[in-house]
Chain A
């Protein structure tokens, strides 16, 4: 911070710390309590969230550590060093695909939710399109700007979550938590597997760590970032179960928004808090999509140097069309599960493969890579 270094496109590790929750927290958590509640008994689902959270945090750390051991190098460049260039390109494309599919899924879900909670007559297509256009506008700006946007919106998201939790206290009943510890081991694992899908998004670390100023702090920052996500999910799940109980939560499509519907804001300004809550939550969803699209550009530019705008205009229609393909809630749900698995499995395996190889090759590569 000695010189006047605003203009350059570098970010700090603190921005990485905020970017992780900003990209991860999105539509997944809106329905996560239901999915867990369906598999577990009582409030036992918290174990699943913690298990999934712990596993993902470790993988996130591996990813960050891997990328941070090649400071300033793009994913393609260090992956090529570890596993030949063609494989590295394959990995990059997989990650790009993952980001694009995630964006497509999210813009679809946001439209569906908007239809449910905001307006029932406006067509899904319009809602998705306007959202995508705003994303295009955001991504066509600077990358540093996107990280600043995360910094601006994320506190609002945390605030509204805490506010929701606070207001819920009046509806909170401890009996809803019982019985505890009745879920079988397999169900726990299955629930953990499902909840891990809501943690998709840490693949941005593969790419963004290259533009972090204080690279050595990045792995720690990413752990903190992921822990923020885990605690947020944990809190939301506990509050949800406390208010609705296991059976009801299992039957609500978006338990988190329903929670906002159930409670009453003191002062009586809003009859229904759910629409308002969802509207605020759109900012978080927006961050998810904007970061995903941007990381896909960043990754793509490492393979083929295309102008940002050109790429955006090519890729935005594709995202839109993919998003519009699934018909009905069931197909959208399946699509989501597929993306979850695809995202988690591909990014985890890429992280683990590269990390292992870099550790094996470590003795030779490390000196010139990290000084």
Chain B
């Protein structure tokens, strides 16, 4: 990254030839301020406030107005500098003065000093303020970052009936605070990295030392260190950069807005990744079973949790197979449909000019269109679209003889079923795979469906998430983990962490009777 700034600086040097730009921090105040302005192009939000210290020593404070806490700068910095001229006069050299200010005068928590223009610029652009003193070789960087943020809100994409109402926000510090409030343990680690050539955003890897398997952490860090891109706008960039297979339809990391979910995953031995500016945290490694787990399973009593999981597995089955089964049964294996149902299907399909496959594709695409339109529009209009689409198009299509009523049932059921899957990214890939199943069913009937099913299984057993097989704990089998798979065992029974993550500390509690 140093190289980039250097390059930019060189460009500047060329463009501002004759203005005598210097890349190093000098001792002359005017020259330093001029260099800074040249470096970042004297933007409108750069504030430079000159002050006189002690016995006529020139000094200046620079900060970016939108990114800094102006109150702190006014009250704790500039005011203190101006009101203590006698004290300041006691220092002989500018360097001594700087030291004195740092120790004695400035009442702001975080103070650093530096003599690097690069560091100064980046820190300034991330909200710190800079104190220059004429004649001093170094400058002070003060931690005055503050900007407008969204307040903590209920997570929109993952609403629960029962559970904390807090969701992550765009501010990294706040997000870390939200996790810390769930886990007050000295072993909770937040390792800070920086990503993006240009964006230079903070990225935090969050895990429990002594629980998470060190190899997983090593793997995550190794992959994070390989990231080289201009900017990461959202944690999705990070996810796509470090995932195991970009050809896979399945997400290999979980993303969530819920601090409680990150906290519980971290306690299981997983790793959370938080990116500044994104309310979505990543959780890795995950397995296919995670697609069917929701935090709510654990908040309700175990019987309810188990029931909900069953429903989701059925939902996934319907999402993927139902339209394909319909196509296969209607076009190849009519003999398998109970005779009375077969007659009624045949009767309703009487006027429909298309084969079942075309019918299913038309309705499937219509459904996806409606969903996408609903997601793009403002929420109130989105609902209208749902009603218009669901009722009007469905009803009209049937009476117009384009599709059969059974097909409408199939598509509606598929749509509803697909929304039961808690992981949005998995739900969408299931819906995508559904089209694959439909094509297979159109070509080879049930046989095609089972072949595609086998192929998906082949893919899953070969897929890994951070080195952990995607098909655990089904295979490689960890029977002990099955307590929290389709079944969600009673909380007192679940006193061991998932074996498939090979945690260092296996037990999470003891059952005492």
- Residues of A near any B CB (own CB < 8 A): 1, 3-4, 6-7, 12, 14-15, 114, 118-119, 122, 126-127, 130-131, 134, 137-138, 141-142, 144-153, 268-272, 275-276, 279-280, 282-283, 286
Contacts and interface: CB of A to CB of B under 8 A. Distances in A.
B449 interface: yes
Contact of A4 (B337, B467, B476, B477): B467
A283 B450 CA distance: 8
Contacts of B469: 6, 144, 148
A250 to B, nearest CB: 26
B216 interface: yes
Contact of A279 (B447, B461, B464, B475): B447
A149 B476 CA distance: 9
Contacts of A151: 474-477
Interface of B: 213, 215-216, 332-333, 335-339, 342, 444-451, 454-455, 457-458, 461-462, 464, 467-469, 471, 474-477, 499, 502
Given A118-B445, A130-B444, A141-B462, A4 B474 contact: no
A121 B457 CA distance: 28
A268 B451 CA distance: 26
- Residue from B332, B338, B464, B476 with most neighbouring chain A CB atoms (10 Å): B476
22 contacts: A1-B502, A4-B467, A4-B502, A6-B468, A130-B444, A134-B454, A138-B454, A145-B458, A148-B461, A148-B471, A149-B475, A151-B476, A153-B457, A268-B338, A269-B338, A271-B335, A271-B337, A271-B338, A275-B446, A276-B446, A282-B450, A286-B454
Given A118-B446, A134-B458, A151-B475, 7 more contacts: A134-B454, A137-B455, A148-B476, A152-B461, A269-B338, A271-B337, A279-B450
A153 B338 CA distance: 28
- Residue from A142, A268, A271 with most neighbouring chain B CB atoms (10 Å): A271
Nearest to B342: A271
Secondary structure at chain B's binding surface: helix, strand, loop or mixed?
helix
B444 A137 contact: no
A138 to B, nearest CB: 5
A14 B476 CA distance: 10
Nearest to B215: A4
A162 B449 CA distance: 23
Q: Which 7 A-B pairs have the closest CB atoms?
A: A151-B475, A4-B215, A148-B475, A148-B461, A141-B462, A145-B461, A145-B462
A119 B339 contact: no
B88 to A, nearest CB: 58
B450 A3 contact: no
A116 B216 CA distance: 51
Contacts of B462: 141-142, 145
B464 A4 contact: no
B477 A14 contact: yes
Nearest to B468: A6
Contacts of A271: 335-339, 342
A150 B474 CA distance: 11
A223 B412 CA distance: 50
A271 B446 CA distance: 15
A141 B336 contact: no
A333 to B, nearest CB: 22
A25 to B, nearest CB: 16
